[in-house]
Amino acid sequence: MRRALVTGITGQDGSFLAEFLLEKNYEVHGIIRRSSSFNTGRINHIFDKLHLYYADVTDASRIAHLIKDIHPDEIYSLAAQSHVRVSFDEPMNTAQIDAMGVLNILDCIKDTDIKMYQASSSEIFGSTKPPHNEKSKFRPQSPYACSKVFAHFLTDNYRDAYNVFACCGILFNHESERRGETFVTRKITRAATRIKVGLQDKLVLGNLSAKRDWGYAKDYVKAMWMMLQYDKPDDYVVAIGKSYSVKEFLDAVFNYLNLDWEKYVQFDERYFRPTEVDHLLGDATKIKETLGWEPTVGFDELVRIMVDADLKLAGNERMLENA
């Protein structure tokens, strides 16, 4: 039985990855942060199958101790302050987690045979014109993206300097019914379904013109695993290869619910970033040709998955309100 350690296991990607690894008969270990409220909702259904530890990736000694004790075959470095807009308000915290946290892990495994996956991000391309592949120039436009660039180059450096089996997955936007509710796609699906059942009467958004390459998170965690099964480490773009604007996502969600979004949506400049990234579009040719990865869920199905799940959630909320 292979053993995996997943940082950020309570997040969207971490929870889907944990399920995937359990299906592959892995022994799955995960790092969670201590909180005064329960933060394990995404993994409660598999809680008894996991080995969980309180830790913070910024605590080098704690991370070193855990890696030594667990000695995983694979580490999936997913822990992050992952909200781009928040990174402008908390740049130091973002850098500590997203950059230095990765360094702590890499330095622990440089003399071992442990394989590592590092969660890079399409945000590293920033203002570079699309389409984006592994050779596209990095032009980060936020503290989050800058931190991810540091972690990306650091991973590549440890691979070259210490022969660490470490891969960076440059994942373009990937969403799901488990996406955090502060991210624009889930913010839209949650609000639209609550409006549909009469629990909410408006939705406040920022920039609707930004275009993103949106895929399904469950497809993308498989790509993470596939990178570590190949015979040599490398970096890969993971994307659908089609981009849609926030407005187009908004249209798709409200149309699916037979609603007119213009009756409910308001705009607030506070939701705009100090520096915007206008267009991200991935070219996943390399991972498709080298590893055989293919996405199974496109834009329209992604919208349906998210809306159906949130409509059920909103319906339950309505029932509780009327009880």
Which residues are marked as active site?
A: 121, 123, 144
| One-letter amino acid for residue 82 of the chain | S
CA dist list (Å): 68 to 72, 113, 220: 9, 12, 28
**251, 200 in Cβ contact below 8 A?**
no
- Write out the DSSP string of 283-296: --HHHHHHH-----
Per-residue DSSP letter, 182: T
How would you classify the pairing of strands 174-175 and 235-238? unpaired
d(CA 97, CA 302): 29
Residue with tokens 């909702």: 41
Write out the two tokens for 259: 């609603």
What letters, b where the CB count within 10 A reaches 16 and e where it falls short, cover 196-233? Answer: bbeebeebebbbbebbbbbbbbbbbbbbbbbbbeeeeb
CA dist list (Å): 27 to 22, 50, 62: 7, 8, 21
Q: Which helix (H) or strand (E) holds 119?
A: strand 115-121
* 112: helix, strand or coil: coil
In sequence order, which residues have a C-beta less than 8 Å from that of residue 94 and are 6 or more positions away? 81, 86, 87, 143, 144, 147
